[in-house]
Structure 1
Amino acid sequence: MEFEYERLRRWPEVEAPNLFASDAADRLIADLAGDAVTEPGLVVIGDGYGALTLAAAARGARGIRVHQDALTGERALDANAETLGLAGTFEHRPLDDSLVRGARTVLLRLPRSLDALAEIATLIAEHARADVTVYAGGMLKHMTTAMNAVLAEVFGEVSASLARQKARVLTVREPHPAAATVLDRWPERAFDSETGLWVCAHGAAFAGTSVDIGTRFLLTVLDEAVPDARTAIDLGCGTGVLASALAVSRPELRVVATDQSAAAVASAAATASANGVAGRVAVVRDDGLASQPDASADLIVLNPPFHIGSAVHTGIAHRLFADAGRVLAPGGELWAVWNSHLGYRPALERAVGPTRQIARNPKFTVTASRRPA
């Protein structure tokens, strides 16, 4: 019986006609893995909205260990499992040895970051069974031969399938635990001389140990942002550079760093620790600001994404603006940096309140939006 991929939804992630809950790579991975998924020791990594996990469960797999970096992905998987009557067939795990220890079969959606792939590959090679087989797939437009090379560093066999519907799968066997131990380096850490901050990053964290150019531009004016603030939130914190910068420069400030990415949250916590402010930066994995009380923050800083996966889409930014409008205290401000061509100012006015330009360069605009008192 064919698995009903078309019944999967992306909720609570943004849904739109050009955004899908599964694709040809999910189907090809599932088809090539076949009945291997029903054997004990199945692990699924990088499942967007549950297609790999639930197709395996529908085939009879149970006790599936699953890691998804995005919190919205976890919630979508849970919701889809309820809809399809497959709740209880899997459990969420962090990206650590408990996820892959003793794994016999791993279904992996290839991450676009080579560092993320290297972190996953070394973890599997160190802790999975010696006879583990990894089915690592993606859409051709997002795959490179460098991925084969990363996998070949810690596995003896990497073979590519024929392409199907613009998707391909790499089948990987023969882990080399000794090689994996040598290459295991996460979180990485680097000193940024311009900011005076240590930046720590797990493989899947955006920008790695560098400071992305939008964040760097916002940092140039951050001292001007609500100087008398007592509470601040780094929304979509990534590696936590803005949160740590605020905590270092304002010892009286209580800072929350929040992101839905497990890699980002782990990285931000490491960054705060590396800069000696772990005691004043609370790091939270959250869908936007869902867990934050209304009218509770004097300052929110934000460098919003404008992609959902590989698709250019501003839906996430608009959701984050709305969250900021709810969570800001009266008179509080959202300081945001955004690509100027996106023209976010009207949306910020609607979601938060009166918005003024703070800085602008050839690529980015920094604005401050004040919630009315």
Structure 2
Amino acid sequence: MDFSFSALRRFPDVEAPNLQAWDATDELLVQRALAAGVSGDEIAVIGDEYGAITLALTDAGLRGIRVHQDLATGRRALAHNAAALSLGGFSSHELDASLLGGARLVLLQLPKALAELEEIVDAVARWAAPDVTLIAGGRVKHMTLTQNEVIGRSFEVVQPQRAERKSRLIVATGRRDAPAQPPFPVAAEVEVPGLSQPLTVVAHGGAFAGARLDIGTRVLLEALAAERTSGLGSQLRRNGQIPPSPRRNDADPHNSSGVVPGASTAPRHTSTSPTAASTTPGTVVDLGCGTGVLAATYALTHPDARIIATDRSAAAVASARATMRANGVDDRVTVTHDDAGSEIPDAAADLVLLNPPFHLGASVHTGAASRLFAAAARMLRPGGELLTVFNSSLGYRRELSATIGATEQVLRTPKFTVTRSVRR
């Protein structure tokens, strides 16, 4: 095999000298797949971050390969790399029967989360061919014995292979019958700052924090609830640096976000502040929405707001849509699978809510947050606001000031900081 893995790019994901678009695990998975002698239309590839596995197999002459990538950035990188290398003969799918039906060989880059692995392996057992072989791989330093146990719930034989170049493969055979009820999505009632009743949070296995309220989101919600309760606006506004945000015509069902405003037909919650809606911006974006906790809470406390929740993870998007339905706000919140809100028009948002990640895959890297700050700057109208929560040690305030505009600290806890940035 003479496929040039080094020709692959991560674009449009973050690119840096210490980040590459493939690793030894990709190469090992490709080698095992070629040795298996299975036709391309019987192969499913899951977790192929930037297309290394799919394109190497396609380059080797296999056709009809089905691929599932959770991240929108990965899907776009695969398309870019395929075009650059003039390769085709594969199709993209969600994690469902269209991906796995009749598959006799499934290649998997192991995910970080055990819950995500459980959902994937259950899907393989549920829809793949009875004689399917699952070959999962990862970097040794990130692998655990518990991963073997999770795979063993759906396969009778789980055989870890000898490590090569700091990567290891796990070969699973003997597919077990899948249970009648899939393990995901799961739902939980969660106490959320600013709501008088619990919020129903729904989560697929690959969604960050699962059906829980992560601590950063909690702190951001505390800041929003405190501001509603106090009735105070931005310190920047009180200092006279910018005018208050104008209200848009909420009666107009047509707007740049594509969201049709309107109250929920069966609201389950009430706001803690009876005047909360009076300060509602026209269009609010939950950027990197995860399971949709911020978007759902904002919709419940600001019934006139038009809200877009967007995330690059397909698992997060499916979770957020289910969370909106469970809380009766799916008619007022549009959820999109997108890369850093790229489909939202420039200067279309009045308020952006953001709890940015500080990891790229298994690497700690601030590049993901920087991309989202730049995205917020693009989509905010002049005078619009970005509310951000981040680990205080990261010190994003200077970057926010440079990228967005004047930035103030709204709330600080021993671990997290919430800031408000006003688009210049």
Which has the higher mean CA deviation after the structures are superposed, 122-131 or 31-40? 31-40
Tell me which residue corresponds to 1:370: 422
Equivalent positions of 1:111-260 (< 5 A) are 111-177=111-177, 180-182=178-180, 184-195=182-193, 196-223=198-225, 224=227, 227-260=279-312
In the alignment, the residues of structure 2 paired with residue 266 and residue 17 of structure 1 have an alpha-carbon distance, to the nearest angstrom, of 33
Note if contact 1:37-1:56 (Cα within 8 Å) is conserved in structure 2.
no
How many Å apart are 1:295 and its aligned residue? 1.2
Q: What is the deviation of 1:41?
A: 1.1
> Is the Cα contact below 8 Å between 1:14 and 1:316 reproduced in 2?
yes
Q: Which residue of 374, 379, 382 maps to 1:327? A: 379
SS of the equivalent of 1:279 reads coil
Answer yes or no: is the 8 Å Cα contact 2:405–2:423 preserved in 1.
yes
SS at match of 1:221: helix
User: Take 1:9 and 1:54, find their aligned partners in 2: how far apart are those partners?
Assistant: 12
User: What amino acid sits opposite 2:4 in the alignment?
Assistant: E
User: Is the contact between residue 330 and residue 371 of structure 1 (CA under 8 Å) also seen in structure 2?
Assistant: yes
Matched, 1:309 2:361: yes
User: Which of 346, 371, 376 does residue 294 from structure 1 map onto?
Assistant: 346
Q: Which stretch shows the higher mean deviation, 226-235 or 138-147?
A: 226-235
Distance 1:335 1:189 in 2: 27
Could you tell me how far 1:35 is from its partner in structure 2?
3.6
Aligned pair partner of 1:265 in 312, 317, 321: 317
| Residue of structure 1 in register with 2:77 after alignment | 76
Deviation at 1:313, TM superposition (A): 0.9
> How many residue pairs align between the two structures?
369
Describe the superposition over 1:95-123 as per-residue Cα deviations: whole angstroms up to 9, x where unpaired: 11111011011110011111111111111
3-state SS of paired residue (1:181): coil
Following the alignment from structure 1 to structure 2, what is the Cα–Cα distance between the partners of residues 265 and 194?
A: 20
CA RMSD, aligned part only? 1.3
Q: 1:185, CA displacement in angstroms?
A: 2.4
Contact 1:122 1:183 in 2 (8 A): no
Q: Which residue of the partner structure matches residue 58 of structure 1?
A: 59
Q: Measure the CA separation in 1 of the matches of 2:281 and 2:71.
A: 30
Counterpart AA for 1:62: R
- The Cα shift of 1:83 comes to 1.8
Q: Which runs of 5+ in 2 are unaligned?
A: 234-278
For the pair shown, the structure with the greater C-alpha radius of gyration is 2
Does residue 10 in structure 1 map to residue 62 in structure 2? no
What is the match of residue 279 of structure 1?
Answer: 331
Partners of 1:38 and 1:56 within 8 A in 2: no
**What is the alpha-carbon distance in structure 1 between the residues aligned to residue 393 and residue 85 of structure 2?**
42
- Relative to structure 1, the CA distance from residue 55 to residue 279 in structure 2 (aligned partners, 3 Å threshold; closer, same or farther) is same
CA contact (8 A) 2:38 2:104 kept: no
Identity over the aligned pairs, expressed in percent? 51
Contact 2:140 2:168 in 1 (8 A): yes
Displacement of 1:365 in angstroms is 0.4
CA distance in 2, matches of 1:108, 1:294: 37
Helix, strand or coil at the partner of 1:299: strand
Whole-angstrom CA distance in 2 between matches of 1:35 and 1:2: 15
1:183, distance to aligned residue in structure 2 (A): 5.8
- Map 1:29-108 onto structure 2 (within 5 A): 29-36=29-36, 38-39=38-39, 40-87=41-88, 89-108=89-108
User: Which one-letter code corresponds to 1:61 in the other structure?
Assistant: L
TM-score, with length taken from structure 2? 0.85
Given that residues 280 and 305 in structure 2 are in contact (C-alpha distance below 8 angstroms), is that contact kept between their aligned partners in structure 1? no
The CA distance in 1 between the partners of 2:378 and 2:73, in whole Å, is 20
Query: Cα 1:327–1:194, aligned 2, differ >3 Å: closer, same or farther?
Result: closer
Q: How has the CA–CA distance of structure 1 residues 188 and 37 changed in structure 2, closer, same or farther, with 3 Å as cutoff? A: farther
**How far 1:37 sits from its partner (Å)?**
6.0
Q: Does 1:344 align with 2:342?
A: no
Distance in 2 (alpha carbons) for counterparts of 1:301 and 1:2: 46
- The Cα shift of 1:34 comes to 2.3
Conserved 8 A contact 1:260-1:288: yes
Unaligned runs of 5+ in 1: none
The separation in 2 between residues aligned to 1:291 and 1:66, in whole angstroms, is 23
1:244-299 alpha-carbon deviations (Å, 9 max, x no partner) = 00001111111100001000100000111111111111001111121111111111
Q: Which digits, 9 at most, give the CA deviation of each residue in 1:72-102, with x for residues without a partner?
A: 1011111111122213x11110111111011
- Partners of 1:182 and 1:48 lie apart in 2 by 30
Deviation at 1:187, TM superposition (A): 1.1
Is this contact kept in 1: 2:14–2:368, CA < 8 A?
Answer: yes
User: Quick one: distance in 2 between partners of 1:183 and 1:294?
Assistant: 43
Matched, 1:353 2:405: yes
In structure 1, what is the Cα distance between the partners aligned to 2:22 and 2:192? 42
Aligned letter for 1:357?
Q
Please state how far the C-alpha of 1:156 moved relative to its aligned partner.
1.0
Determine helix, strand or coil for the equivalent of 2:179: helix
